[in-house]
Amino acid sequence: MDADAWDARYAESPQWSATPNDLVAAELGALSPGTAVDLAAGEGRHAIWLAEHGWAVTAVDFAEAGLARGRRAAEDRGVQVTWEVADVVTWRPHEPVDLVLLAYLHLVAEERRRVHRTAVESLAPGGTFLLVGHDASNIAEGVGGPQDPTVLCTAEDVLADVAGLPFHPQRAERVARTVVVDGVERTAYDVVVRGQRPSGS
Ligand SMILES: C[S@@+](CC[C@H](N)C(=O)[O-])C[C@H]1O[C@@H](n2cnc3c(N)ncnc32)[C@H](O)[C@@H]1O
C-alpha cells in the first residue's frame, strides 16, 4: 500500500489498538530509556508507550493522517513525541540512536533490506534493533496480515539483510500468537528479531 492508501485508512478510522504489541512491550519494557526511532509508527502506539517510559522518540511514517492521530493521542496522554512524515526507505536520523523499532512494516525485499541496514547503521554502540512483523509462513499457516508473499519475511531474511554490519543478534525466530477470529481462537505467526550494535563498534 502506498502513502495515499494508508492515509485514506487512517482518515476513515483508527486502525490499531492504543496499547503496544505484546512482543514489543516484552522485549523493550526493561530497557533503560534513551533516544529511539519508531519506523513506520502509524498512529504512534509504540512511540507514545516508549515516551511514557522515558524515551525521547521520533515517530516516522509516510501517512500524515496516521501520525496526526498519534499527535493527538500523545497530547491527550501528556507525552512528547517528535512526529516526522517521511518515507522510511530513504529517511535516516541525524544522530545515532539507542533504539530502532520496526513493528509490522512490510516492504518488498529490496526496500526491506535497505531499511534494515539503515536501521542498524543508525544505532549508537550498544543500541537495540527490534523488528516485529507478520512472518512469511503466516499466509499458509496463520491468519491475518498481508496476503502478498513478496512483502513478508522470516527471521533468517532479516539477519541476511544486515549481514556484514556490526550487529549481535539476541533473538531471531518465529513466534505464535493466539488471535480470536469470529469468536474462534486461531494462531498467527510473527517474526521477531532483536539485536544490538556491539559497544565499541
Ligand atoms: C501495519 S501499520 C503498523 C503501524 C505501527 N508500526 C504499529 O505497529 O501500530 C504499517 C505502517 O507502515 C507505514 N508504511 C508503509 N510503508 C512505508 C514507507 N515506505 N515509509 C513510511 N511509512 C510506511 C504505513 O503508513 C503504516 O502506518
Domain spans of the chain? 3-196
pLDDT value of residue 12: 86
CB neighbourhood size of 190 (10 A): 23
What is the distance in A from the centroid of ligand 1 to the CA of 201?
30
Nearest CA to ligand 1 atom 20: 87
pLDDT averages per 10-residue partition of the chain, 201 residues: 92 85 96 98 98 98 97 97 98 97 98 98 98 98 96 98 98 96 95 95 79
Buried b (16+ CB within 10 A) or exposed e, 160-178: ebbeebebeeeebebeebe
Instruction: Give me the pLDDT at residue 14, please.
Output: 79
Is any atom of ligand 1 closer than 6 Å to the C-beta of 44?
Answer: no
CATH number of 3-196: 3.40.50.150
Spatial distance between the Cα atoms of 84 and 97, rounded to a whole number of angstroms: 16
pLDDT of residue 11: 86
The whole-number pLDDT of residue 1 equals: 83
Residue of minimum CA distance from atom 27 in ligand 1 = 42
pTM of the model: 0.97
Here the cell at position 168 is 549481535
Helix (H, G, I), strand (E, B) or coil at 149: helix
Q: Give the nearest ligand 1 atom to 21 CA.
A: 8
Q: Is the CB of 42 under 6 A from ligand 1?
A: yes
